[in-house]
Structure 1
Amino acid sequence: MNHADLLQPGLHRAFVRDGFGALPPAALPSADTRSSSLSGARLAVKDVFDVAGLRTGGGNPAWRDAQPLAAATAPAVRLLLERGMRWVGKTVTDELTYSLAGINAHYGTPENPADPARLPGGSSSGSAVAVAAGDADVGLGTDCGGSIRLPASYCGIWGIRPTHGRIAGNGCVTLAHSFDTVGWFARDAALLADVLGALTHGEPAAPSNDVRRARIVVPNELLALLHPAARAAFDATCARLRASWSIDVRDAGFSPPAWADAFRVLQAAEVAAQHGPWATAHLDTFGADVRARFAAALAIAPDQAAAAQRVRVDALRSVARLFADADTFVVMPTLPWVAPRVDASGAEIDDIRRRSQQMLCIAGLAGLPQVSLPWTAFDGAPLGLSVTGARGDDEAVLALARALHAALMD
């Protein structure tokens, strides 16, 4: 059933009607006299964050109707409003965030401003589209399996998944607790950094003077996943960057297929533990793709989860060895290829999801910070470049991403 009556008309189908426009009085921030680089910047918020006086919809009308009006505003939203950001509205999300496509059976698909013939990516689809379209300066979202990084790549904008646990996630609908992070989009890196400073209670994260010391690792295991055209473009990019940085193309000890499968199982087990009873009672309210995903999650056996957890431990050890030396970063295209077309079959979208997860699961399994930056396009369809670093190195990851982008724009 389509619920277009809950969707704000126009604006690339990015916003839900509930929460569009002025904030309820209960959500108005207290006065903050600090000067802020965020003052006046427009903020769009994924409809999984509580905002006092509004219902948190989660992309599913049955879920929304069961929620009370939020009594408090999620810290991530409140901190940005207190820094003077200007509220725009709540944005469309895939149902309970359990998808990467950007399709919502109830609200429709937000239109990718970079290429309207292609999907915007999800689950933070509306926030990414609002930023890419220029309807918001910052789009707040969440990233569990790639829900910031993938739409950032598809829409040609900046997106950050911080270190897991670095940003307070209170007052936010989570899908799988050991993977979910608060993340955000922007059209320029300086604003992305200013939000990082605000949400970590620090100063704006300015580029470091030490980024030239960075040692860049390009894992062979991930190169093998790239579409041939993306591989050729990335090879050319590495050739340009070698003038300023050490780039080491080598085996990194990654096992993308096994790690992606472990991620899928562990995510599903956590989804079932957190949302199982509600999902079981409301399976028929989900779109077909999300319904099938919830049904599969409910069928995960304990021995499957235990085996996946052992794979995760091995992955953590491999990642720790890679980042044991300071100033080490992984640089790769964010995804194997560009966004699928909006008329792609369900089977094609599922295949792209599986292949993308082999690249996205690394930061998810290990809780690493990763930034996707605008890089290139193929027939108008964007593909992002990403920088991943050790846990807690969020500012350094963002600084290197800014330096790489500047070098490639020269």
Structure 2
Amino acid sequence: MVIDATWLLRLETDGDGPRLAVKDCIDVAGTPTTAACPALMDDPAPAAADAPVVETARRQGARIVGKTNLVELCRHIDGINPWTGTPTNPIDPERVPGGSSSGSAVAVANDEADVGYGTDTGGSVRVPAACCGITGLKTTAGRVPTHGVVEFSRTLDTVGPLARDVAGLAVGMELMEPGFRQADASGVPLTAARLRFADVDPGIDTSLDAVLAAAGVKTVDVTLPEWESWVAAANDIMGAEGYWAQRHLLDRPDLLEERDVESIGGGARIKAGRVAECRRIGLAARSRLGELLADHAFLALPTLRAEPPRMDDVRPGMTYLTVPLNLAGLPAVALPVPRTDGGFPASLQLVGAWYAEEELLAAAAVLEAAVAAR
């Protein structure tokens, strides 16, 4: 039963461990996993076991305070769900909270949880973090197990934490991966390829550049003409894999949003040859970004090209700067940055090498300190 737009289920917990909010596409033993979709709510059998990321958190004393709302079946980035309600953006209630991990982001931003678990297939941790003024980490593809997680796109799905600051992300990583430790920042080189895009709000770019300079990050501007093809390839892989994962739900179209009936069915029209082509494009993206990461410790770019849209003016394209990184499998942090012109906070996306979350969080902490010092 939905109890408010942020939480689908509240849980009573004891202890003094970190408060953990779990996106309701991740199994928590004894509770149903609904992905905020009536077609799954119609058969509310409780999960028999915790997903591995929940099991490891329990072992370390985390208090699971509830299951959070999301966009139906993790399929959209705006955070809007007509069935279960839309969590309220904590910065501007007239704007979208971002999705699909909307409830986890809002719960963290409102200090109802210390860490939120989200999933990120095309930006679903980083975009709600950007919309809600908090931090979020998309993990390296394959680093964190996705067993016990409602499948959307098998090769692009990842699980990652949301928190109010970088220290909270480190806590979230340790809950998922016992023994995780953020690297010592003194040993992390602060160099970055600054990825440039023509259609980014100039106020966002100016704000990010100011923080990078204040943190002492040495940057080199880079443009990537291939980016558009990477966006298209990632979206087509997502569509094709999403069809095979969720096609059975088309038997109950009355219990799906119309846009999800269309998006699931649309995946069937993506041919195997196109998927193979997209895989080759993905390998090329990994190679090109790997070359950049061989010359620079990190990549730096915005999370969003513009302010989060208002609820009545949602347009496609919010994953334009995030989804190619899913295609390449790279880890990326979204970090809030005040705008120099006083507008809605910007979000910096810092991208590290594969399986280098320890160093990535160390660099993000340096940037966060530079923001605090301004």
Q: Same fold (TM over 0.5)?
A: yes
Among 282, 287, 312, the residue aligned to 2:282: 312
Amino acid in structure 2 at the alignment position of 1:315: A
> CA separation in 2, counterparts of 1:245 and 1:235?
10
- C-alpha separation in 2, matches of 1:312 and 1:225: 23
SS at structure 1 position matched to 2:96: coil
Contact 1:164 1:368 survives alignment (8 Å): yes
Query: Judging changes above 3 Å, is the alpha-carbon distance between structure 1 residues 203 and 228 closer, same or farther for their aligned structure 2 residues?
Result: closer
Q: Structure 1 residues 142 and 248 mapped into 2: Cα distance closer, same or farther (>3 Å)?
A: same
2:315 is aligned with 1:350? yes
Residue type of the partner of 2:89? N
Quick check: 1:268 aligned with 2:239?
Answer: yes
Amino acid at match of 1:227: D
**Residues 1:162 and 2:139 are matched in the alignment:** yes
Spell out, residue by residue over 1:195-251, the C-alpha distance to the aligned partner (whole angstroms, 9 max, x if none): 21232221432543223x22211023xx3231132223334334434xx23211133
Partner of 1:339: 308
- Summarize the Cα distance change of 1:312–1:115 in structure 2 as closer, same or farther, 3 Å threshold: same
Aligned-pair CA distance for 1:114: 1.4
Q: Corresponding residue for 2:114?
A: 137
Alpha-carbon shift at residue 78 of structure 1 (Å): 1.7
The answer for unaligned runs of 5 or more in structure 2 is none
- Cα distance change of structure 1 residues 66 and 400 upon mapping to structure 2, 3 Å threshold: same
1:226 aligned onto 2:219: no
* One-letter code aligned to 2:260: V
Contact 1:197 1:205 in 2 (8 A): no
8 Å contact 1:141–1:148 — kept in the other structure?
Answer: yes
| Preserved contact between residue 20 and residue 114 of structure 2 (Cα < 8 Å) | yes
Q: Following the alignment from structure 1 to structure 2, what is the Cα–Cα distance between the partners of residues 368 and 291?
A: 30
2:252 corresponds to which of 267, 277, 282: 282
Q: List alignment gaps of at least 5 residues for structure 1.
A: 1-5, 29-37
In structure 2, which of residues 3, 6, 20 is the aligned counterpart of residue 8 of structure 1?
A: 3
How far, CA to CA, are the matches of 2:213 and 2:360 in structure 1?
A: 21
1:216 alignment partner, one of 192, 197, 221: 192
1:47 aligned partner, one-letter code: D
- How far apart, CA to CA, are the structure 2 residues paired with 1:151 and 1:14? 13
Percent of pairs identical after alignment?
35
Letter in 2 for 1:77: V
Find the counterpart in structure 1 of residue 351 from structure 2: 388
**TM-score w.r.t. structure 2 length?**
0.93
In 1, distance between residues paired with 2:71 and 2:114?
Answer: 21
Match of 2:217 in 1: 245
- 1:3 maps to which residue? none
Query: Cα deviation per residue 1:261-304 (whole Å; 9 max; x = unaligned)?
Result: 1111111111112222x132123322233332222222222232
Partner of 2:337: 375
The question of 1:329 aligning with 2:305 is answered: no
Alignment partners' CA distance in 2, 1:288 and 1:161:
28
TM-score by length of 1: 0.86
1:207–1:380 Cα change, 3 Å: farther
Distance of 1:233 and 1:208 partners within structure 2 = 23
Please give the alpha-carbon distance, in whole angstroms, between the structure 2 residues aligned to 1:382 and 1:174. Answer: 32
Distance 1:286 1:317 in 2: 39
Q: Deviations over 1:361-395 (max 9, x none)?
A: 22201111101111125766332112101101111
Query: Does the CA contact (< 8 Å) of 2:77 and 2:319 recur in 1?
Result: no
Per-residue deviation, 1:406: 0.6
**8 Å CA contact retained: 1:161, 1:370:** yes
Change (3 A) 1:234 1:204: closer
- In the alignment, residue 47 of structure 2 is paired with which amino acid? A
Is residue 403 of structure 1 aligned with residue 366 of structure 2?
yes
Which segment is superposed worse, 46-55 or 356-365? 356-365
Q: Which amino acid aligns with 1:129?
A: V
Q: Deviations over 1:93-120 (max 9, x none)?
A: 1111011010112011110111111100
- CA distance in 1 between partners of 2:225 and 2:114 (Å): 36
Give the deviation of 1:405 after TM superposition: 1.3
State the secondary structure of the residue aligned to 1:365. helix
Distance 1:79 1:263 in 2: 30
CA contact (8 A) 2:160 2:173 kept: no
Task: Return the alpha-carbon distance in structure 2 between the equivalents of residues 303 and 117 of structure 1.
Answer: 42
1:104 aligns with 2:81: yes
Count residues in correspondence: 372
Q: Following TM superposition, by how much is the alpha carbon of 1:401 offset from its aligned partner in structure 2, in angstroms?
A: 0.6
Q: Give me the CA root mean square deviation.
A: 2.0
- Measured after TM superposition, the shift of residue 306 of structure 1 is 2.4
Indicate conservation of the 8 Å contact 1:254/1:315, yes or no: no
Instruction: Evaluate the alpha carbon distance shift between residue 204 and residue 239 of structure 1 in structure 2; reply closer, same or farther with a 3 A threshold.
Output: closer
C-alpha spacing 1:198/1:91, structure 2 compared with 1 (3 Å): closer
Q: What is the CA deviation profile of residues 131-155 of structure 1, one whole-angstrom value per residue up to 9, with x for unaligned ones?
A: 0111111111111010000000000
